[in-house]
Chains A and B, each alone.
Chain A
Amino acid sequence: MAQSAAFALAENLAAAGLAVDGCYQCRKCSNGCPLVFAMDLPPDRVIRLALLGREDELLACRTIWVCSSCETCTTRCPNGIDIAGVMDWLKEQAVARGAAVPEPEVRDFHCAFLGAVKLMGGRLSEPLVLALYALKGGRWLAKLRRSAAAGELATALELLKRRRLPLSPPRRLAGAGEVAGILRRW
């Protein structure tokens, strides 16, 4: 069983167009990664653990959430491995399976974004995404501390003065229903 589970992860990734078996551990991905300082597993480890089938560790790691999707690793991998794509796949699985996420703020922001687009009928309202993000999952204190709330407010005021805070919601699309269907999970 351990054996088949070990292959299952790499096979599932390959089925999603994210084959990892070409990795020869050169670490070019990790050497160019701008966020490796904030990760618990460098990107090359993520690929290695994926090959070894260590799914639980990967779904629980911090790396996939602090990855900024800058695509440097994917661009540089000599074996054409889409490392950034693997990070995305793992994030989606972690949320779908309800794994404990070590960076709930990052997850909440993404959820708030998709929720806001659906609510507004197809386009994003920037103030709404911030409001939904603040409300999601509580943890007010952690969020306030992280986002240095006073500074954020000051920035918002500066934007308001410069007529850059949209005061009306985006136009609701004729295709709002279609977009809501695409975003039905959020």
Chain B
Amino acid sequence: MKLTYYPGCSLEGTASDYAAGIAGVAGLLGLTLAELPDWNCCGASAAHSLDAEAARALPIRNLRLAQRIGLDVVAPCALCFNRLKAGAKDLEAKGERLSFRVWDLLDLLTQPVFLKRMAARLVTPLTGLQAVCYYGCLVNRPPKITDAPTPENPGNMEKLLQTLGATPLEWSFKTDCCGAGLAVARPDLIDRLVRRLYDRARRAGAECIVVSCQMCQANLDLPQARISRQAGQKYELPVLYFTELIALALGHPEVPRWLARHLVDPRPVLAAKGLLEIPAPQASG
């Protein structure tokens, strides 16, 4: 299966670990991701906040490039996906028909064809791994843009975790906002939102949080030390990409190297379950 791939800017930057994991999983699942030539930034929150015209034109330039190729487009970032979908809706409203569909990567990889492939090739079932799924905002909301069937209570990531043998836990915060867009200008606000997510995840019994977007990942992973200091209690919840769990369960050899690039190291939790071998620490503490 071949699709046009729209990586988005941060996968070339701070989320290069996510990009590596996606490439690895695509290889395992027989999926060819052909990067959209000359793709541009989708404009993100900045464009839709300050320049409605640019917020339409930027994704539409990408859609026109994709139209020449004609294959379905997949985006691994919730915000890129949302902006591309908004652009597509805009063109449709003007009577233009696109011959392809825009996918969010999680939605694509949880289609029955891929879940079946995963189930058939399971090498290391993630038995005993207790996780909450965190979808964030923009892959699902607003449904008139995303076409998400169950925006208040999505379930495709839970289904994926079950397929991989892990234990997805119920919690009511899977689509609550983490405030990622305010992380630079108002970190005080995101600290409050994110801390609540940690608390609720822990209360649900989670050993880790699973995400499908690099902004959610960064916003939940990077500030844990800061939030721990402020809260006077230690938070140490690994925040894993769903792609890393697929790769782990399917026996991809590179997984430990991707995990080592997170700030909160997920390897000890996985090693304790016998899902991963990590080299013994050099010095004991």
Q: A residues near B, CB below 8 A?
A: 16, 34-35, 37-38, 66, 68-72, 74-75, 82, 84, 88-89, 91-92, 95, 103, 105-111, 113-114, 117, 122-126, 130, 133, 146-148, 151, 154-155, 158-159, 162-166, 170, 173-175, 178-179, 182-183, 185-186
Q: Does the CB pair A91–B260 fall under 8 Å? A: no
Q: Which of B1-60 contact A (CB under 8 A)?
A: 9-10, 12-17, 38-41, 43-54, 57-58
Complex contacts, A110 vs chain B, CB 8 Å: 45-46, 49-50
Sorted nearest first, the 8 A-B pairs with minimum C-beta distance are A113-B46, A70-B177, A71-B141, A124-B9, A105-B185, A110-B46, A166-B13, A162-B261
**B186 an interface residue at 8 Å Cβ cutoff?**
yes
Q: Which residue of A lies closest to B196 (CB)?
A: A34
The contact sample of 11 A-B pairs, CB cut-off 8 A, is A37-B192, A69-B137, A71-B142, A72-B177, A88-B49, A92-B52, A106-B186, A111-B50, A124-B9, A162-B261, A164-B13
A105 to B182, CA, bound (A): 10
Q: Does the CB pair B17–A72 fall under 8 Å? A: no
* A-side interface mostly: helix
Knowing that A155-B223, A182-B54 are A-B contacts, what are 15 other residue pairs whose CB atoms are under 8 Å apart, sorted by A's residue number? A66-B182, A75-B152, A105-B185, A110-B46, A111-B50, A113-B45, A114-B50, A117-B40, A122-B38, A130-B184, A147-B187, A151-B225, A164-B14, A175-B40, A183-B54
Q: Which of B252-267 contact A (CB under 8 A)?
A: 260-263
Q: Give A13 Cβ to nearest chain B Cβ, in Å.
A: 12
Q: Does the CB pair B43–A34 fall under 8 Å? A: no
A173 to B58, CA, bound (A): 13
A16 to B56, CA, bound (A): 13
Most buried by A among B10, B13, B14, B263: B13
Q: Give A144 Cβ to nearest chain B Cβ, in Å.
A: 12
Complex contacts, B54 vs chain A, CB 8 Å: 114, 182-183, 185
A77 to B192, CA, bound (A): 25
Complex contacts, A133 vs chain B, CB 8 Å: 184-185
A118 to B41, CA, bound (A): 10
A185 to B46, CA, bound (A): 13
A50 to B75, CA, bound (A): 35
